[in-house]
Amino acid sequence: MSHASLPLLSPRPASPDEAPVLAVRGLRTDFEARTGTVHAVRDVTFDVRKGQRLAIVGESGSGKSALAMSLVGLVPPPGRVVGGSISLNGKELVGLDDNGMSQVRGRDIGLVFQDPMAALDPLRTIGSQFVETIRVHQDVSVRTARKMACELLAEVGVNDPARRIADYPHQYSGGMRQRVLIAMAIANDPAVVIADEPTTALDVTTQAQVLDLLAKICDERGNALIMITHNLGIVEELCDSVNVMYAGRFVESTSARSLFETPAHPYSQALLDCVIDPATTRRGAMPAIPGSPPDLSVDEPGCPFAPRCPIGRNEPRCATERPEPRTLSTGAVVRCHFASDITGGEA
């Protein structure tokens, strides 16, 4: 395993003694489909502390977006949170009515979405949407809100914001729109910013700029950042801790460094193997994960990764017994019966 990664810029370490801003315990979200119930989020537990940059990594269909929407109570119907608790600065969010949730959204939790092209109302100017966003939570005049918006836009790198605030979304490029959306997400200074695949829809060259911006903003303001992504490169570059999600569960929760140096779960390992670096790779075969992700509407008794796992494929235990989270010596929490066998050490 040779993804040597020596961080030049050390992210702010999470201080364990600080009370978590956001504490999620045993969160479960279901979608009632005609074909049966899809358990999209299954028993997810994690903490986010002030200034932390947490990554949630998974493939499409792993439940990571459903998780993000569950946190802000915007799971699209027919989906809903069916269990667990989300505690924001001690305030319970699960079971809160929509009005209560509305006060949390934007003010306590900011959201940045995947597709900036579709994330702004095309019929209204950037300014009016921005002002609206500010005035939902802050009792300020339209004029003040507009001024605040201009400042924020300048902060995220929009040139001449006083003029461009009157423009419509389609007059902005994709990258610029994502900057606007980031500015709107932090406009009410939320404690936590959730970014759901914020760069997937952008061109490669723009991606980097937007990521830099997100990091910078959160650093300056001290917001916690939850980065939801499938791209391990982003995780490596941006985040300090990682949760690897598979089939609705966190299969490995650890620090970014530990994940890249000593991935504990076979799935994490396989994912890392799939990452190819254009600078170093050569023509030839690459390691692949066989098979395809499981159907989320069935909840098998064993480890959901077992059929694709180099170890689990041949272990009867993996097919019958669900692995419970275990904490390893590295501090990683892993759901795997054989995690210790790979890394060679158990706490």
Partner 1 sequence: MTAVAVTPASPARSRPIRSFLKRDAALTLTLSLLAALILLTLIGPFLWRVAPDDINLSAVLQPPSVAHPMGTDDTGRDVLARFLAGGRTSMLAGLGIALIGAVVGCVTALLAGSMRGWVDTVFTWLTNSILCFPAILLAMAIAMALQPGVTAAVIGLSLHSFPWYMRTLRGEVMRLYGQDFIRSTTALGAHPGRVLFRHVFPHLVPIMILQMAAVFGAAVLSLAALGFLGLGAQPPTAEWGEMITEGQQFFLTGQWWIAGFPGLGLLVAVTLTTLIADRAREVLDPRGEFTQAK
Partner 2 sequence: MSTAHEPLLKVEKLNKSYGRGMSTKNRVQILHDVSFELRRGQTLGLVGESGSGKSTTASCVMGLTGADSGLIEFDGVDLTKLKKAEMRRMRRRIQMVFQDPNGSLDPRFTVADLVEEPLIIHGASDSAERSRRVEEVLDRVGITVKQAQRYPFAFSGGQRQRIAIARALVLKPDLVVLDEPVSALDVSIQAQVLNLLSDLQDELGLTYLFIVHDLAVARLMSHDIAVMNGGRIVEAGTSTEVFENTSHPYTRALLDAVPGARRRAKALAAAGDGPSQEGL
Partner 3 sequence: MLSTILKKLGVSVATIFGASLFAFILLRKVPGDPARAIAGDTATPETIAALRKSMGLDENILVQYGKYMESIFRGDFGFSYSTGTPVGTLLSQRLPATLELGLLSVIIAIGAAVLTAGMAVYSRRRWPDKALRISSSLAMGSPPFWIALLALMVLSIQFGIFPGPEGRLSPGVIKPPAVTGLFTIDSLLAGQWATFGNALWHLVLPAAVVALGPFAFLSRLYRNQLRGTLRETFVTVARSHGLRRFPVFNRHVAPHGLLSLLPAASLLFADLLAGSLLVEKVFGWPGVGSMTADAIIQKDFAVVQAVLLLAAILYVVVTLLADVLMAAADPRTRVGAR
Q: Cα separation of 202 and 236, whole Å?
A: 19
Q: Count other C-beta atoms under 10 Å from residue 203's C-beta.
A: 10
Residue 96 engages partner 3 in binding (rule: CB under 8 A): no
Quick one: 17 exposed, middle or buried, by C-beta within 10 A (0-12, 13-18, 19+)? exposed
| Residues numbered 237-276 forming contacts with partner 3, rule: CB under 8 A | none
Given 280, 301, 324, 344, the residue binding partner 2 (CB under 8 A): 280
- Paired sense of beta strands 224-229 and 53-57, if any: parallel
Minimum distance from residue 103 beta carbon to partner 1 (Å):
25
The distance of closest approach from Cβ of residue 322 to partner 1 in the complex, given in angstroms and rounded to an integer, is: 20
**How many CB atoms lie under 10 A from the CB of residue 43?**
16
> In Å, how far are 147, 149, 178, 273, 306 from 160, measured between CA atoms?
13, 12, 17, 44, 54
**Other Cβ atoms within 10 Å of 324 Cβ, number:** 9
Q: Is 289 in the site for partner 2 (CB under 8 A)?
A: yes
**Residue 105 found at the interface with partner 3 (CB under 8 A):** yes
Q: Which is nearer to partner 3, 115 or 219 (CB)?
A: 115
Least distance in Å: CB of 55 to partner 1?
A: 18
Query: Nearest 5 degrees, angle CA 44-CA 49-CA 54?
Result: 60
For residue 19, the partner it binds in partner 2, partner 1, partner 3, none, with Cβ less than 5 to 8 A by kind, is: none
Coil, strand or helix at 206:
helix
Q: Binder to partner 2 among 16, 76, 77, 278 (CB under 8 A)?
A: 278
39: helix, strand or coil: strand
CA gap 285, 291 in Å, rounded: 17
**Nearer CB in complex with partner 1: 141/200:** 200
- Could you say whether residue 188 binds partner 3 (CB under 8 A)? yes
Tell me which residues touch partner 2 (CB under 8 A): 1-8, 59-60, 199, 203-205, 207-208, 211, 230-234, 236-237, 270-271, 273-290, 292-293, 308
Tell me which residues touch partner 3 (CB under 8 A): 69, 72, 74, 76, 98-99, 102-107, 110-111, 113, 115, 118-125, 129, 132-133, 136-137, 167-168, 170-172, 181, 184-185, 187-188
